[in-house]
Amino acid sequence: MAAIGIDLGTAYTSVAVWRNDDTRIEVIKLENKTDSMPSYVAFTPNGRLFGTEAREYFISDPKNTVFGVYRLIGRSYDLFQLNEDMPLWSFSLTNHNGTPMINVIEQGQSVSYTPQQITTMIIGRVKEAAEKHIGGPVTKAVISVPSFFTGVQKAATRDAAIMAGLEVLRITNDCIAAAVGHRLYHQVSNVIVYDLGGTMSNVSLLSRDGVSVYDMVDTKCYKKSGGIHFDSRIAGYLANDFEIQFGKSIVNDACAMRRLTIAAEEAKWPFKDPTVDDSIVSLQNFYEGHDFVTTLSRAVYDDLCMDLYADTFKDLQAILMENKVEKTAVQSILLVGGGGKIIPVKQMLSDFFDRRILISTSAKPDEVMAIGAAIQATLLNGISHLSIEHKMMPDILPMSLGIEASKGVMVKFLTRHQYIPCGARRLVPICLDMEKDKVIKVYEGERAITEHNHLVMSVPFKTTTEYNSVENVTVILKVDFAGKLHVHVKRKCPLTDKEKVEDTSKIPIKRMTAEQMSAMLAIPQSIHEQDLVEKARLESRYKLERYICDVTCAVDRPGRLNATERQSMAEELERAMQWFVICKDCTKEELERRFLELSYRWVEITHKIFDQFWSYKPFQ
């Protein structure tokens, strides 16, 4: 069965596949004008339209034409960034329990779809085109998504592909796919991937680990400079030209401006050829019976958009500065996306790096990520050939994952920038403090204190041990190729010695959003230093609580203490717990002092009930 590589772009979607007959990766032609397909879906009285047909339908029926859906997938309706994006869309969006719902009229019926369902339709269309092209079934895929996608967005994309009938071999970051597509196999150490796409620009820094593979060190996205923003500038220029020619303003005519915006996008295409200096715009019966014919020069196009090009370099400067990478340490620049053939952008990149680095771009920079995804799909599907590299470039974990220990301390199982797939198994001691109902809390984030991190999920369970004050529970965290988190909690029954696995399949998992990740990474070092002070205090508090808890659970063990000793200890323990409840927020020094007082006073009793001196080792 064939495995394809899909690049899910906000503006365009493309697909590539390995051809056994001539042993090469081939980009599949999805449209008559271009190999890639506009990421549009239109709902008409006669059925659905996709790609260019849907984009043209958008002119007459914008409310029932959906586009830019990858800005929505896996995101909550009430996110600030989503509200900021609202003006981009002409279709109706409503809030359904925090999920954005897309509302359209389909064949006379009012229907609502989630962003996932729209994505499923687009992937299904691409899958169908691939099957028609290769003459056989397509069952597997590697999907390239924007580098800034969170785990939630990747999981939502994965689920959309599954609903379209595909087994997802991997969800890969587009910058990694670009490096693979460029056949950049372990030749240099630091690589900048500059992606000027249809709706935004994205700058990523890749670094080699010194032995074999690249990982994504950092990525930054600027959502106000991309193809649609260039189109808007050109459309404004063309509208002014029309007014000069015919004395009529069209800026308030939404239908005319939509048609002009599509013409503006197509007017850019000839400039991909560096020998072309002019592009003809020709619109028949454009407005009030007037045909509109004009010329857009390369010089005017560049002048209209030069400030937008320059804005993208702010992220390039920031990514180098924040990661302490000098310009001279960058050894390769990959220019990808639809803007990869804009001559001023190439020149600005070259000037930024003092003209010492060759800008690497493919013949079709907007398809290189689909090629990279297809190479990965081929390898993961068990096919090897000399023309493709046999070492996979991994994706990385965007944020650390761990659990709460010591009642407030974050213990990391998986660390940020760890290669995925990855996993960790830890034996976690659970203190039995008279409560049978316990919970394992999984967090995502970089802070040392759990309350400052993001709660991903909670796994409740009941303890069964009567006399032992600690029950050991095995906690397993795994992140698969698609970036999806799997949590397993196992423990042994003390009576039967059989292992019990807690059912976590129905517990909701809520990963961090892109905005939450950005806020987390922006926290200054001084705050992290304060966290470490609080972590030490919490561990001292937990040690004291654990000591009181252990003694409380052990004093009633048969044959250890006489009645007088038990009565005396019961009173001591009650006073100790009362002090703890009142003073649990006191300083680390006070907590340590109280622990030393109790351990000294109870030393003989604890030796009797534990058969040895009590000891404590923090879980880390």
| Average pLDDT for 115-125 | 96
Model pLDDT, residue 247: 94
Question: Residue 470: its pLDDT value, please?
Answer: 57
* Confidence (pLDDT) at 212: 46
200 or 113, greater pLDDT: 113
DSSP character at residue 449? B
Residue 59 shares a structural domain with residue 144: yes
Residue of higher predicted confidence among 349 and 356: 349
**pLDDT at residue number 208:** 66
Residue 108 within a domain: yes
- Same domain? 155 vs 290: no
Residue range 137-156: mean pLDDT, rounded: 88
Q: Which of 223, 163, 186 is nearest to 11 (CA)?
A: 223
Q: Which residue has the tokens 């007017």?
A: 267
- Structure confidence at residue 494 (pLDDT): 58
pLDDT single digits (tens) 370-391: 999 999 898 888 877 666 654 5
Q: How many angstroms separate the CA atoms of 366 and 196, rounded?
A: 9
The answer on 383 and 403 residing in a single domain is no
What gap in Å lies between CA 401 and CA 485, rounded to an integer?
9
Mean pLDDT for the chain overall: 84
pLDDT at residue 467, rounded to an integer: 44
Query: Rounded CA gap, 165 and 127, in Å?
Result: 9
Neighbouring CB atoms inside 10 A of 62's CB total: 16
CB 155 within 8 A of CB 195: no
Q: State which of 521, 542, 558 marks the end of a domain.
A: 521
Judge if 275 and 401 occupy the same domain.
no
The residue with tokens 């220029």 is: 237
Write the burial class of residue 480 (CB in 10 Å: 0-12 exposed, 13-18 middle, 19+ buried).
middle
Whether 333 is in a domain gets the answer no
Say yes or no to pLDDT of 203 above 70. Answer: yes
Task: Give the pLDDT confidence score for residue 468 in this predicted structure.
Answer: 46
Q: Is the pLDDT of residue 320 over 80?
A: yes
Q: Is pLDDT above 60 for 65?
A: yes
> Once rounded to an integer, what is the mean pLDDT over residues 87-114?
90
Asked if residue 166 and residue 18 are part of one domain, the reply reads yes
Return the pLDDT at 496.
60
Task: Provide the pLDDT for residue 187.
Answer: 58
Distance between the two ends of the chain, CA-based, in angstroms?
A: 46
Q: Which of 471, 487, 521 is the last residue of a domain?
A: 521
Q: Among all chains, which residue has been given the structure tokens 């999806």?
A: 484
pLDDT digits (tens, 9 = 90+) for 482-520: 678 889 888 776 556 677 788 887 888 888 876 687 788
Residue 575 falls inside a structural domain: yes
What is the tally of structural domains in the chain? 4
CATH of the domain at 166: 3.30.420.40
Q: Do residues 18 and 150 both lie within one domain?
A: yes
237 and 117 inside one domain: no
Flag whether pLDDT at 619 surpasses 70. no
Domain that holds residue 247: 227-305
Final residue of a domain: which of 305, 330, 356?
Answer: 305
pTM of the full structure: 0.70
pLDDT at 432 over 70: no
Q: What is the DSSP string of 40-86?
A: EEEEETTEEEEHHHHHHHHHH-GGGEEE-GGGTTT--TT-HHHHHHG
Query: Which of the given ranges, 24-33, 85-94, 305-314, 432-441, has the highest pLDDT on average?
Result: 305-314
In a domain, 593, yes or no: yes
> Do 240 and 91 sit in the same domain of this protein?
no
287 with 149, same domain: the answer is: no
Q: Is the pLDDT of residue 131 over 90?
A: yes
Percent of the chain whose predicted confidence (pLDDT) is above 90: 33
Answer yes or no: do 73 and 174 share one domain.
Answer: yes
CATH assignment of the domain containing 495 = 2.60.34.10
The mean per-residue pLDDT over the stretch 292-321 comes to: 92
What are the tens digits of pLDDT across the range 522-574? 788 888 888 888 888 888 888 888 888 878 877 777 777 777 887 888 888 88
User: Does any domain span residue 319?
Assistant: no
| 586 occurs within a structural domain | yes
**CB-CB contact of 7 with 123 (8 Å):** no
Number of CB atoms found within 10 A of residue 169's CB: 22
The per-residue pLDDT for 373 is 92
Q: Cβ of 319: how many Cβ atoms within 10 Å? A: 18
Same structural domain for residues 383 and 403?
no
In three-state secondary structure terms, 218 is strand
Residues 178 and 267 in one domain: no
Domain-embedded: residue 212: no
Neighbours of 592 (CB within 10 A): 16
The two tokens of residue 364 are 């079709």
